[in-house]
Copies of this chain bind each other. A is one copy, B any other.
Amino acid sequence: MSEKFIELLWAEKYRPRSLKDIVNQEEIVKRLLKFVEEKNMPHLLFAGPPGTGKTTAALALAYDLYGNEWRRYVLELNASDERGITVIRNKVKEFARSKLPGDTPFKIVILDEADNMTADAQQALRRIMEMYVETTRFILIANYPSKIIDPIQSRCASFRFTPLKKEDVIGRLHWICRQENIKCLDDGLEVIYEISGGDMRKAINILQSTAALGEVSVGNVYKVIGLAHPREIREILNLALLGKFIEARDKLRDLMVVYGLSGVDVVKQMHREIFSADIKIPEEIRVILAEYIGEIHFRIIEGADDEIQLTALLARIALLGRKVS
């Protein structure tokens, strides 16, 4: 029954299976195809922002090496699984012991979010990598290569994944919409792209959630991710800038209640809006605001009361607005 009920996650459903299906990162794909050809490879380090296809490339590489049975020869270790170094050691040990694939002289361990490991754990990892190198190759996946210790970097061939271009992401979303028979509006997709920050997986997830509400419109996207419509945030900012502090504050309260916005949500949205072209703020005010928003954001992160801090922010904006006009 479950298949029927849990629809697949689109991010999984539309993930390329083979290296040949990957449309971006051409240079990297070319290099990886070499490894498939030669049936040999060193340890690899895939680095780059989230959603640029690192995991996809690793899995596709495995698919191309081992064919349909690839799952047998691949051990995937995720950051969110139990992953003390001892667990890793044991799992790898177990895995390394199992039979080797017919014609490829090694198996693959894929270690996601390797940059989240402490330096000490990475040292231990390095030793594990050396110990089982005869039969096992590691693919380390990281967002920030600078967090990977040198000794590992120098033992891996590293590959840098670059952010996807806007047209690539939007193109892909369009294509999925057609496959799924979903009605989508251009500005809806654009907003998804912006919010996702170029992260393909995130973009597809948002698309799927939005589609559940009906058509992919700007309003629906914001509803799905639990944020206010930018227009309303701008209204509040404008009220404050006009010195209508109390009004601004009341409107903000309403907004938070209606959309269920947290303080951090509001701060982030305000931050985005003060830089939008749709709001008229003198340059110098923008600067001061940007600084103060940073301060307020930090306070809320540290556990301060949303309402008091946001009021303080509006107060500052009102003061600034007064000085200007």
Contacts and interface: CB of A to CB of B under 8 A. Distances in A.
Contacts of A249: 275, 290
A311 B275 contact: yes
Contacts of A103: none
B42 A5 contact: yes
A213 B82 CA distance: 33
Given A9-B151, A208-B157, A261 B295 contact: no
A74 interface: no
Nearest to A42: B8
A296 to B, nearest CB: 7
Interface string A239-257: 0000101100100011001
Contacts of A147: 262, 264
Given A146-B265, A150-B205, A163-B260, A133 B5 contact: yes
Contacts of A133: 1-2, 5-6
A310 B2 CA distance: 42
A22 interface: no
A11 B153 CA distance: 11
A9 to B, nearest CB: 6
B160 A213 contact: yes
Contacts of A226: 47, 144-146, 160
A102 interface: no
Interface string A108-141: 0000000100001101101100100110000000
A290 B304 contact: no
Interface stretch (A58-66, A92-100, A194-202, A229-237): A194-202
A307 interface: yes
Given A209-B154, A312-B295, A322-B284, A262 B123 contact: no
Contact of A245 (B224, B267, B290, B297): B290
A56 interface: no
Contacts of A225: 145-146
Given A47-B260, A213-B27, A286-B245, A162 B223 contact: yes
A49 interface: yes
Interface stretch (A170-178, A183-191, A313-321): A313-321
A134 B287 contact: no
Contacts of A268: 305, 307-308
Interface of A: 1-2, 4-6, 8-11, 27-28, 31, 40-42, 47-50, 52, 78-82, 86, 105, 115, 120-121, 123-124, 126-127, 130, 133-134, 142-147, 150-151, 153-155, 157-163, 197-198, 201-202, 205-206, 208-209, 212-214, 223-227, 243, 245-246, 249, 253-254, 257-258, 260-262, 264-265, 267-268, 271, 275, 283-284, 286-299, 301-305, 307-309, 311-316, 318-319, 322
